[in-house]
Each structure stands twice: as C-alpha cells, then as structure tokens.
Structure 1
C-alpha cells in the first residue's frame, strides 16, 4: 500500500512540473522574453538557493502602436522548485509547496521582437503575501507612464484598473 502511495506522489510531482513547463511553453515569444529576463534577475540573487521557474500567468497586455514596436505588460507568478540554483535542465524540477509564490509584474518595449534598453524594462517581483493593492496600482501606473512617455498608449490602456 505504501508503494502505491509513493508511486502516486511521484507521478503527481512529475505532472505538476510538466504542467508548469507547459504553461511557459504556451506563452507567445514576446512574453517569454520578459519572463526569462525576470527569472534571470531573480535567480542571480545571492540569497536564492532554489531555482525559480514560471508558475502561472495572471494577466498580460500588449500595445502595438506600429513600426514593429510593442509595449508589453505581463503579470505572473514564479515559484521555487526543488532544484538547486544553477540547474540547467529544468524538466525534472518540481515546485516546492512550502513557499509562497512570487508575484511579478514586468513591462518593456520591444522593436522587432527584441527588448529595448530605453525605456528601461521594469521588473517588480514581490512575495505574494507582502503585495498590497497600492503596490499593484503603482506597478500599473508606472507601466502606463512608460508607454506614454514614448508617445504610445499605455501598456494597460486596453484593460483599465479592473484588470487585477
């Protein structure tokens, strides 16, 4: 009986990690660019011991004012895995259930599918319990101003404050 339970736990863990990879794989490439940038930034921090991976999307928006320019806003969760930081093959990295998710909001400008240095990409990642509604509004406002300062509609202009 114990071996059956152990088998079910192992299968569930594998399916859980495969599901997360599936969620990332389904993202359009323009959103993967930002997720990769945020994961690289967070995983490079000295205090991070376990590899963080994309967990699930909360919302995304893109504005295309023309000339192959796109303003991207993406809100998603990343979560710690059981793999140590620096793991290259993430296909067998199940998520840890003991830590809360990290809520990330990112916005950036792309031209021809490449993230631009100006305006500087915005990455804001906070552990979920610490995130307040005021912080969420500040994120949205910052990203909207980024778009307006470049003469384009704000990154969230099509979804408004009711998005969150």
Structure 2
C-alpha cells in the first residue's frame, strides 16, 4: 500500500511531462526555435538542465518586412533530473516537481533561419516583481520595430 502514492506520483510526473511535450510540438517552428534559444541561453551556466514547461501568455507575433517577424514569448521553464553536460535530448528529461519554476520572457526579431536581435530574461517565478515586468516590457518594446520611430530605423538598417 505504501508504494501506491509513489506509483501515482510517477504517473503524474509522466503525464505532466508528456502534456508539456505535446504542447511544445504543436507550436509553430519559429516559436519552438525561440523557446529553444531561450532554454539554451538559460541552461548555458546551469548544472541541471531546464526545459520548456508551458506558455503563460499566447505568443505575440508581428509580421515584418523582408520575410521577418517579431516574436514575444512568455513561458515557464522547469528543472529536470538531467545534468546539463550529459543531455542529448532535453525533451526526454523528466521534470523535478519540487524545484522552483523559472518565468521567462523572450523577444526576438526572427529571420527565416536565424534571430537578428533578441532579449531573453528568466527569473524565478516567485520573484517576478512589477519592476522586472516593466523592465522586460521596456526591453521588448526597444526590439519591436513599430514602437515610436522604430519602423523607419529598421527600414534604413535593411538598406545599408
């Protein structure tokens, strides 16, 4: 009888991991690339690997001239049981539910196969303050070409 709670916990962890993977796989390729870039950036100095858990807000996407787009993503990363150095396929790593979640914002100017500009910020979920939210919004606004005067500067950059 003592093993029943452990079994239920394992089943719950597997279902949560599978649900996150399905959501990730259903996202458009460009959105997955932006999430992957954020995860790569975040994991670059971590011992344990984190991976995408879920979107907090719908992805904001704006089509731009010259086959580009502006992406603004807000999502959660969760720590996994995998060591960063030994991960071959991050999506096969199980989530550690006891660890804090990371609240991430990524804003990108995306070309067809690369990111021209980016802003990435991840903070422990329970430490996100109004100040952090304002800083994120300000940095993403700087990237968005349609903020005050941005489209003119963007167009002139393309011609140079």
Q: Tell me the TM-score range normalised by the shorter chain.
A: 0.7 to 0.9
Distance in 2 between residues matched to 1:6 and 1:109, nearest whole Å: 45
CA deviation string 1:55-86 (max 9, x = no partner): 11012201113331201111111110122223
Normalising by structure 1, we get a TM-score of: 0.80
- The answer for the alignment partner of 2:81 in structure 1 is 82
- CA deviation after TM superposition for structure 1 residue 130, in Å: 1.6
> Residue 64 in 1 paired to residue 63 in 2?
yes
Q: Which has the higher contact order (CA 8 A, sep 6+)?
A: 1
Report the RMSD for the aligned CA atoms in angstroms: 1.9
> Residue 128 in 1 paired to residue 131 in 2?
no
CA contact 2:53–2:75 (8 Å) conserved in 1: yes
- The answer for the alignment partner of 1:28 in structure 2 is 28
> Residue 73 in 1 paired to residue 77 in 2?
no
- SS in structure 1 at match of 2:151: coil
- CA deviation after TM superposition for structure 1 residue 91, in Å: 4.5
- SS in structure 2 at match of 1:63: strand
Higher helix share: 2
Distance in 1 between residues matched to 2:76 and 2:106, nearest whole Å: 11
Unaligned regions of 5+ residues in structure 2, if any? 153-160
- The answer for the alignment partner of 2:139 in structure 1 is 142
Distance in 2 between residues matched to 1:36 and 1:50, nearest whole Å: 16
Normalising by structure 2, we get a TM-score of: 0.81
- CA deviation after TM superposition for structure 1 residue 113, in Å: 4.3
Aligned length: 147
- The answer for the alignment partner of 1:13 in structure 2 is 13
Distance in 2 between residues matched to 1:5 and 1:88, nearest whole Å: 31
- The answer for the alignment partner of 1:54 in structure 2 is 52
